[in-house]
């Protein structure tokens, strides 16, 4: 191992490939890598700590780019459950669709999904920016705590259920809103933020005015005495 041409799942196993990418020294001049034949395997490029660029040629399985720090990962295919789970920084760019729970509990960085994201996109997100060019499935941004979820298409049922301080921008329509999620007025700061995100994802068809904003009504934050009989 050590040779870049061996980042091929037909020639090496997951542990060897991940370990190579996880241990690249910051002194290394070579910063761009290509991973071949992923064949839907799990945890590809999880736990990378250096600012390197990785292109994955094909579909990946669960938890791709999980716990990522600083690195830029491009997936030329679809991603399985838990894409960029608990990511801290860096970017993940999926050219296809993403399965359930993309960006779950992620603290920072940016996830761009060119296609659709399935259910629970951004579940419990803690600061990440997620940009979905297509639509998201049900229960997206469930218990989302911080960060921004921008959706260019529609959202499934119960968008933003039990949401904390994450902000959701959506160009289409949510099928329904979850508990404590409400539409909010777009202000100047929102316009700036949407512009920034659209630019990041190279989206030219949509303008900030196309988006609606959703967030927490903050009614679940404190115990309401009127609900005492429910307990």
Residues that bind other proteins (CB under 8 A): 39-42, 58-59, 61-62, 77-78, 80-81, 96-97, 99-100, 118-119, 137-138
Closest to other proteins by CB, 96 vs 208, is 96
Q: Which of 66, 71, 27 is nearest to 49 (CA)?
A: 71
77: number of Cβ within 10 Å: 16
Give the residue with the Cβ less far from other proteins, 58 or 109.
58
- Minimum CB separation of residue 100 from other proteins in Å reads 7
* Shorter beta-carbon distance to other proteins: residue 77 or 208: 77
Q: Shortest approach of other proteins to residue 40 CB, angstroms?
A: 3
Distance between CA atoms of residues 88 and 67, nearest Å: 6
User: Residue 210 and residue 26: Cα distance in Å, rounded?
Assistant: 42
Task: Using DSSP bridges, classify how beta strands 126-132 and 181-184 pair: parallel, antiparallel or unpaired.
Answer: unpaired
Residue number with CB closer to other proteins (58 or 215) = 58
Per-residue b or e along 183-211, where b marks 16 or more CB atoms closer than 10 Å to that residue's CB: eeebeeebeebbeebbeebebeeeebeeb
Rounded to a whole number of angstroms, the minimum distance from the CB of residue 123 to other proteins is 12
Nearest distance, CB of residue 203 and other proteins, angstroms: 22
Q: How far is the CB of 184 from other proteins (least distance, A)?
A: 28
Nearer to other proteins, 103 or 109 (CB): 103
């Amino acid at each position: 191992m050590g040779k870049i041409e061996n980042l091929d799942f037909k020639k090496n196993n997951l542990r060897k490939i991940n370990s190579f990418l996880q241990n690249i020294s910051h002194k290394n001049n070579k910063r761009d890598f290509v991973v071949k034949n992923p064949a839907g395997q799990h945890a590809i490029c999880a736990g990378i700590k250096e600012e390197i660029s990785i292109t994955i040629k094909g579909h990946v399985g669960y938890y791709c780019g999980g716990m990522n720090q600083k690195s830029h990962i491009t997936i030329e295919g679809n991603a399985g459950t838990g894409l960029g789970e608990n990511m801290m920084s860096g970017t993940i760019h999926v050219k296809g669709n993403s399965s359930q729970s993309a960006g779950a509990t992620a603290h920072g960085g940016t996830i761009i999904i060119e296609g659709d994201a399935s259910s629970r996109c951004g579940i419990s997100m803690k600061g990440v920016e997620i940009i979905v060019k297509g639509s998201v499935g049900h229960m997206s941004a469930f218990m989302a705590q911080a960060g921004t979820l921008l959706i260019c298409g529609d959202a499934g049922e119960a968008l933003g259920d039990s949401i904390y301080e994450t902000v959701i921008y959506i160009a289409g329509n949510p099928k329904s809103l979850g508990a404590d999620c409400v539409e909010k007025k777009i202000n100047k700061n929102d316009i700036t933020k949407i512009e920034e995100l659209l630019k990041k994802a190279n989206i030219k068809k949509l303008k900030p005015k196309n988006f609606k904003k959703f967030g927490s009504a903050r009614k679940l934050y404190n115990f309401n005495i009127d609900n005492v009989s429910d307990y």
